[in-house]
Structures are given as structure tokens and as C-alpha cells.
Structure 1
Amino acid sequence: MSSAEASEASAASAAFAHDGSEEIGVLLCHGFTGSPVSMRPWADHLAEAGFTVRLPLLPGHGTHWRDLNKTPWTEWYAHAEKAFVELTGRCRSVFVFGLSMGGALTLRLAEEHPEIAGIVLVNPSVLTLRKDAKLLPVLSKVLASLPGIGNDIAKPGVLEGCYERMPLRAAASLSLLWRVVRADLGKVVQPTLLLHSAVDHVVEPENSAAVLAGIASTDVTEVVLANSYHVATLDHDAPLIFERSTEFVRRVHAERAGDRA
């Protein structure tokens, strides 16, 4: 990689912030071992729509996989929550969007903060059916990492800027986040837009099913993404995700404004 390419890659993985509307703010949460690269086109679209946008780089991400092994899920959550609180001081309606693990963080924020206007989830992860996952608490004490699980994208030549290795202590911590989120799914009452891929080689379909069955929201829209794999925000269905999420935000905000009138 040339120095120019390295600089470009570093810029793409950095946190992103845009100050737009004082009416609508959107927080985006990226996935496990990933970075803002996977969400940046979505963030750019939302900024162009006039919204205030925050896309943080979560602790332990965007550097080296060993750094992620040093950060528990509570640090990822605290960082996302800090960005959310900052947005609530700027905007009347704040929405939270999440991809994969970012979806778990989004759900946890919704459980803890009923004032969130609405949530958008793309291939959210809240569990795994892999039998070896039960060994993580023990395995992570003797083995630092395994080969990575990123870049599950149908569109040729597209990379999400994730780690090449999966840090096992961090993976074990992620499983604890899932447990907490699943236990409190009934606290999620916000309008919800859930988009999930028909074919996903990272997150099983049982994840979206568990979310839809567990949340208490009455305003729920499910969209199946027919032409994308796990990182759908960078895949063939990205324009559909961007369009449907923008429509969702505008509709929910308008309904909230009507309630306040």
C-alpha cells in the first residue's frame, strides 16, 4: 500500500461528524472488528439529507486487533452513549442506526434511553448458533485470536476496513453484550426499521427473528435485502437502505412533531 493509499484508508476509518439540522440527529454504530468505513456512505447520505450526523470510531477498533482485546463491550457502549447524549443537546429528534454489533449497541441504547426517536437495524447481531461460541470464555484465555470473519459483501472489490483477525477476548465480551440486550428486548418501544439480508454468512437469520419477536415496538417495518450479504451498507442494496432509512426518519420525526403541536 502506498503512503497515499494508507492515508486515504486511515481517513475512511476515522470518526465522522456533520452538523446539520437542529431538528433531526442520527447516531450510527459500526460492527465488531470494523470501523466507520462500513457506515461512511450511509453517513454521507444522511448528511446530504440535512441531518446532524455522528459516526464514532468505537474503542479498540480501527487500529490493531490486539487493541480490541483490551476493550470490553461496556467501553463500546459508553462511547456510543456519549455521542448520543451529545446529539440530544443539539437535536429535537435523535435516531440511532446500527450494523451487526452496532445493532446490538443500538438496541441497548433503545433499552436504556426511551427518549430515542427511532432505531434502524441492519443485520443486527444478538446471538450465534455456532457451537464453538460456548468455548469462548475458556478459549479466549489461551488463544488471542482466530481468522477474521469480515468483508462478507456480494459486490465485487468492496472491503469494509475490518481486522484480519478476530480477537477472542473481545468476542467473549460481545457475547456478554448479546446476553444483556436479549434480556431487555421488551424495553424497546421505539419505532423500528429492521433490514436484513436474505443471505448472510456472518449473522444467522435467527438474530433478526429474535429481535422482531422480542421488542415491544408497535411501529415495526421489516425489509429483506435480496442482493446483499452481511455488510449490506456497502453492498448492492445500500441505496435501498439509505432511502428507506431517510424516509423512516422523516416520517417518525413528523409524527413526533405532530404529537407535540
Structure 2
Amino acid sequence: MKLLPPQPFTLEGDHRAILLLHGFTGSTKDVKKLGQYLNKQGYTCHAPMYRGHGVSPEEILKYGAKYWWEDVTRGYHHLKDLGYEEIAVVGISLGGVFTLKVGAEFPVKGVVAMCAPIKRRTKEGLFERLYNYAKVYKQFEGKDEKQIAEELEALKELPREAIVEVQKMIQHTSEEIEEIHAPTLVLQGELDDSIYRESAPYIYETVETDAKELIWYHNSGHIITLGKEREKVFADTLHFLDELDWSENVKKNKLHA
């Protein structure tokens, strides 16, 4: 069975723009419900798809962090090109790392990093995530157990430069966090793996802003935007965004005059 890949999305609202970033092996589905929630409260939301994601797992290994970072920066400039002058950035997992990188390198109104693995994952840990994604994806394709087993073995033999790139990018971003001066919200599930639970307080302590907060979700794991406490995650994110120093009205360019 051929699966339809998730797509980027843009939900237009008022002048307050949000860049939404998904995770490694994830897709825009990670942040779609959050985007819809924020859009109903007036926010414009745009979520790019990283190359190789949302399709067969083998495609992910054809790319790497530099390509995905290009996709993120394209998403930021897409909002700028549409005429949005004020942008906050929100991301989960690897998207949370990209969120911190955007906050360090671009003008943003605020930063929301969810379950971001800034205390580096091992190459084996990242591959395990890819392997688990591959198993589920191939089952959804309707392949039999023998074919799935063969394809998973073949996956183990593919080059892993993409995963090495992710590690390097995470390390580089961890050194940039102190460049973040925008208000920052760090959200973390208490049932998540230790690498994420250790990263949350590190991010909180390292960002160079007094306007920061760390919130834990006691009954949540990793993708908290889809978990059992997602409504609280959405509400906390909205409260943070509503408190930012947005202009009363920013005129957009001639495309939206």
C-alpha cells in the first residue's frame, strides 16, 4: 500500500507568525494539532517538512542535518516573504533543537523548545529511532514479516552520515544557546528518555534571558504535542505566546495589503 506523505502547511491568521518544527523521523503531523489550535486563537502558523521525512525511512538517510536546517530556514523566510515581520518559533524533539538554533541566529519574538535533545544522543540512539520508525512504516505499507525483516537488515547496512550530521549539529547548537536573548519556554515530558530530561534544565539555565520558564508534564513521554497532556501543552504554549511583546498591528507587504 502506498502511503500519502504528510505535507507542509500554512494556516493564515493575524500578524503574529509562528514557525512550527517537527522532529527526526517525524512529520508535520507532530505539530498539526498545535498549529490548528494556535490558528483558532488568531496566530498564523507555518510548518515545513524536512527532506526525506514522512516517506520511507531509507529516504531519511539520503539527506542530513544541513538539508533539514535549510528546510527550517526556508520556512522562516517563507513567513518573511509573505510579509510577516514578527515570528516566534516552536519545535519538538529535533525540531526543538532547530528552534533553539533559529532563536540564536535569527530575530524572533520567542522560543518554545519541546523535548529537545541538546545533551547529545549517541549515533546508536538515533539509529534506533530510525529503525523503530522503519518497522512501523513498513507494517503500515502492508508488507509481510519476511520482507520487513529483510528490509530492516538492509537498513542497517546503509551509510549513516545523516545521523552523524545530526550529532554534530546538536553539539554546535548546544554551544549557541547562550546567544538566545528572546523569551524562552522549555517544555518536557517526565516519562521521556533521560537524554531529553537532562537537556531541559540545561537549556533553561543556559539561555541568556530572564524571561524564561521550564514546565514538566508528569504523564507525558516524548512527542508531547500528541500525548495525553497535549491540551495542557497547547494551553501553556498559547499563554506564553500571548504574553510576548507583539506589536498591536504590523502591516504586511503588498502581498497582504
Do Structure 1 and Structure 2 share a fold, with TM-score over 0.5?
A: yes
Q: CA RMSD in A?
A: 2.9
Query: Which residue does the alignment assign to 1:121?
Result: 113
Q: Partners in 2 of 1:146 and 1:185 — Cα distance?
A: 26
Equivalent residue number for residue 20 of structure 2: 28
3-state DSSP class of the match of 1:227?
coil
- SS of the aligned residue for 2:202 comes to helix
Distance 1:56 1:188 in 2: 22
Q: 1:91 to 1:146 in 2, by over 3 A?
A: closer
The TM-score normalised by the length of structure 2 is 0.79
Quote the offset at 1:220 in angstroms.
Answer: 0.3
**Residue 194 of structure 2 is aligned to residue 194 of structure 1:** no
SS in structure 1 of the partner of residue 243 of structure 2: helix
1:147 to 131, 134, 142: 131
Displaced runs of 4 or more, over 4 A? 129-133, 164-167
Pairing partner for 2:29 from 28, 32, 37: 37
**Bigger Cα displacement from structure 2, 94-103 vs 194-203:** 194-203
Could you say what secondary structure the match of 1:173 adopts?
Answer: helix
Unaligned runs of 5+ in 1: 152-163
CA deviations 1:172-196 (Å, max 9, x no partner) are 1110111110111110111001110
Q: From 89, 104, 115, give the equivalent of 1:96.
A: 89
Provide the secondary structure at the position in 1 that maps to 2:225: helix
1:146 Cα deviation (Å)? 6.2
TM-score, normalising length: structure 1: 0.78
Q: Percent sequence identity over matched residues?
A: 21
Deviation at 1:201, TM superposition (A): 3.0
Q: 1:9-24 alignment to 2 at 5 Å?
A: 10=5, 13-21=6-14, 23-24=15-16
Query: What is the aligned partner in structure 2 of residue 160 from structure 1?
Result: none
Q: Secondary structure at the match of 1:120?
A: strand
In 1, are the aligned partners of 2:25 and 2:129 still within 8 Å (CA)? Answer: no
Q: Secondary structure of 2:59's match?
A: helix
Q: Is the 2:25–2:130 contact (alpha carbons within 8 Å) kept by the matching residues of 1?
A: no
Larger Rg: 2
Structure 2 CA distance for aligned equivalents of residues 131 and 80 of structure 1: 22
